[in-house]
Amino acid sequence: MTVKRSRIKTLKIDGRDIGAHEDETILEVARENGIYIPSLCQLDGLSLVGSCRLCLVEVENWDKLLPACATYVEEGMVVNTNSDRVRKYRRMILELLFAEGNHVCAVCVSNGNCELQDLAQWLGMDHVRYPHLDPVRKVDMTHERFVIDANRCILCSRCVRVCSEIEGANTWDVFGRGINSRIISDFDTSWGESKTCSSCGKCVNVCPTGAIVEKGKASGEMIKRTEFLPYLTKMREVQA
């Protein structure tokens, strides 16, 4: 049996010389080497979409910042994950996410267990410089066990991907464009009427905020568990 090995590339991240496999992204390599790059849409076990842009990094000889989760390593790459420019845009993106939805942590069921909140704390984001849009969006409580609150959704599409790629139900999708984009179930019917949802709860657990939660939870009570995802992915690789 021939074991296919990917070639090793050498690159520099934050001044450190690092060896990586050619099929690895900057984000993966950084994590393996204890270098933290924030991320939201990326989740191990799901496909890459590079939509949240929280993981932007500076790569020498590139004018624009690149998403670390969707950029593969190259020989001789010089990456900076924490320059003034990176920090400036990272903070701006996070503030825009907060301004665009209704993220009132004090009354959220995911308060204390929210990846968006964690990032705001990590970045020291104590205020938002942009006008809040204060959208009035639908809260769908028609499912027997779960709730989806579009006001808290950051459109990371983890729910869409886990439902399609892991559960195979294809219940969720992104509907509309730009500021009018929203997550829908089936053909924009209410979740409780969905013919495809298997009520597995995977979307609930991968949602990084309080947008998809279990019913009956009070403020701060919703705890998400994503451990199942790397396990299921690994088992599929083993069986393939």
Residue 48 to residue 158: CA distance in whole angstroms:
10
Q: Which is nearer to ligand FES, 70 or 128 (CB)?
A: 70
Cβ(14)–Cβ(35) below 8 Å = yes
CA angle 190, 217, 158 (to 5 degrees): 55
Residue 163 to residue 165: CA distance in whole angstroms:
6
Which amino acid would we find at residue 50?
G
Identify which range of 13-21, 45-53, 115-123, 146-154 contacts ligand FES by CB under 6 A. Answer: 45-53
* Number of chain positions touching ligand FES (CB under 6 A): 12
Residue 235 to residue 107: CA distance in whole angstroms:
38
Q: Residue 153: which of 128, 175, 171 has the closest Cα?
A: 175
Q: Which is nearer to ligand FES, 73 or 147 (CB)?
A: 73
Residue 177 to residue 155: CA distance in whole angstroms:
11
- Is 154 one of the binding residues for ligand FES (CB under 6 A)? no
User: Contact with ligand FES (CB under 6 A): which of 30, 40, 153, 155?
Assistant: 40
Question: Strands 78-80 and 8-13, how do they pair?
Answer: parallel
- Is 42 one of the binding residues for ligand FES (CB under 6 A)? yes
Q: Shortest gap between Cβ of 154 and ligand FES (angstroms)?
A: 10
- Is 26 one of the binding residues for ligand FES (CB under 6 A)? no
- Is 52 one of the binding residues for ligand FES (CB under 6 A)? yes
Within residues 68-97, the interface with ligand FES by CB under 6 A covers 69
Q: Which is nearer to ligand FES, 53 or 143 (CB)?
A: 53
- Is 50 one of the binding residues for ligand FES (CB under 6 A)? yes
Q: Shortest gap between Cβ of 135 and ligand FES (angstroms)?
A: 21
Residue 229 to residue 201: CA distance in whole angstroms:
12
Q: Which positions lie near ligand FES, rule CB under 6 A?
A: 39-42, 50-55, 67, 69
